[in-house]
Structure 1
């Protein structure tokens, strides 16, 4: 009988790891499908459109980053992707997050921690989808519009190609302009996890967001770093006076 909590696709060429992950996820009430190579994983993902994909960075025929890029071009464009990596693959992880990955966990890992991280991502995605159905709110600043129903961000009339996580980050920051969010709170709000994990996950997403919406990412206009504290969505007094929320 099909489990009710959601469908997970696990992509890893190490059978022992796949079986361990499947064991814990099935106990948690998930339906699990597995693949040991990139091309097969892409076909399976197209067929299943799972609720989340666990993706190993190091795959033989087609590495996990290539798989991630391909997934983001198809029906799994908004499906959360959680990378598995070894500590020696730091640069690959940064690339993976830049190509559309949502999060990562380093081997060896605690299966219960992995399950908790997966549950948080799925819960966050469903909350976001439910909220989009219930509201038609647009948050507008001078030259910047954030549409929470269509999940579109327009800068000077141009739609920005943001990932789901980038949109969530911007939404949290922009709903409370000029407020400084500590790293821990921002991570908790967007990733729905009390465990901070590695700050690089958050920092890479912030960096990607700046590259897409800032004229000069090195000197950001919108998303600013408050050294020693965290990040804020910065507005001028004029922006604050002109910012509106449309229902």
Structure 2
């Protein structure tokens, strides 16, 4: 199962680290930002599943950051603040936040809120994503309708054959495909034992989507069997 990527935004390092420890213990991948400016930059360049956002921060506060995020993204946002007045909560929620927790907070309550928001978001979006032809593998996003591929928010240009191979593996996460099977499904032709066409295409795809093609995160080699994208 892919790890959800959570962004924790707070100007206090101790709080960022504390929240990070609790989330990582639950199996989430955590990225941290010290203010709204850094958070917006991260969100523009990486795929994020959920944001935990402090209200009171220098440079760009949580309210302005939330408004900024909502201009182009729709992941869940949980606001975090020492303020308890109703107007602060209302302001946070009306600017696009999905939930609001006041400091000091119970870590177990925060975890419960995170899980609830992720569950609701997935249930709400799964049908829309399927209809739009969206396949997500960590921060790799494949749009089967438009033939667009993004990694960490950045567009990746693939040839039609490369796209078809990536799509085949991503739509069948966890299943190992031999070179023969990939060739027959993508090229629609009989495979010849000496043909290394698939291997060459896999290498080119890795060069485009992997940060380190020699240590791939997405397309894994199952030695002596074939290739797969893990769940």
In the alignment, which residue of structure 2 is the partner of 1:48?
Answer: 46
In the alignment, which residue of structure 1 is the partner of 2:14?
Answer: 16
**Match status 1:61 vs 2:59:** yes
Give the C-alpha shift of residue 80 in structure 1. 0.5
In the alignment, which residue of structure 1 is the partner of 2:23?
Answer: 25
Q: Structure 1 residues 131, 62: CA separation in 2 closer, same or farther (over 3 Å shift)?
A: same
Whose Rg is larger? Answer: 2
Distance in 2 separating the partners of 1:58 and 1:101: 15
What SS is found at the alignment partner of 2:3?
coil
What SS is found at the alignment partner of 1:87?
coil
Give the C-alpha shift of residue 133 in structure 1. 5.0
CA contact (8 A) 1:57 1:93 kept: no
Q: 1:72 pairs with 66, 70, 77, which one?
A: 70
Give the C-alpha shift of residue 135 in structure 1. 7.5
The unaligned stretches of length 5 or more in structure 2 are 133-231
Q: Structure 1 residues 99, 5: CA separation in 2 closer, same or farther (over 3 Å shift)?
A: same
What SS is found at the alignment partner of 1:123?
helix
Q: Structure 1 residues 104, 88: CA separation in 2 closer, same or farther (over 3 Å shift)?
A: closer
Aligned length: 133
Q: Counterparts in 2 of 1:204-223, with a 5 A limit?
A: none
CA contact (8 A) 1:4 1:29 kept: no
Distance in 2 separating the partners of 1:132 and 1:22: 30
Q: Counterparts in 2 of 1:116-131, with a 5 A limit?
A: 116-131=112-127
Q: TM-score, normalised by structure 1?
A: 0.50
Q: Which runs of 4+ in 1 moved over 2 A?
A: 87-93, 131-136
In the alignment, which residue of structure 2 is the partner of 1:157?
Answer: none
State the superposition RMSD in angstroms: 2.1
Q: Structure 1 residues 9, 83: CA separation in 2 closer, same or farther (over 3 Å shift)?
A: same
Give the C-alpha shift of residue 4 in structure 1. 3.0
Q: Structure 1 residues 135, 73: CA separation in 2 closer, same or farther (over 3 Å shift)?
A: closer
In the alignment, which residue of structure 2 is the partner of 1:110?
Answer: 106
Distance in 2 separating the partners of 1:46 and 1:90: 31
Q: Counterparts in 2 of 1:199-238, with a 5 A limit?
A: none
Q: TM-score, normalised by structure 2?
A: 0.54
The unaligned stretches of length 5 or more in structure 1 are 137-247
Q: Counterparts in 2 of 1:160-179, with a 5 A limit?
A: none
Distance in 1 separating the partners of 2:114 and 2:70: 19
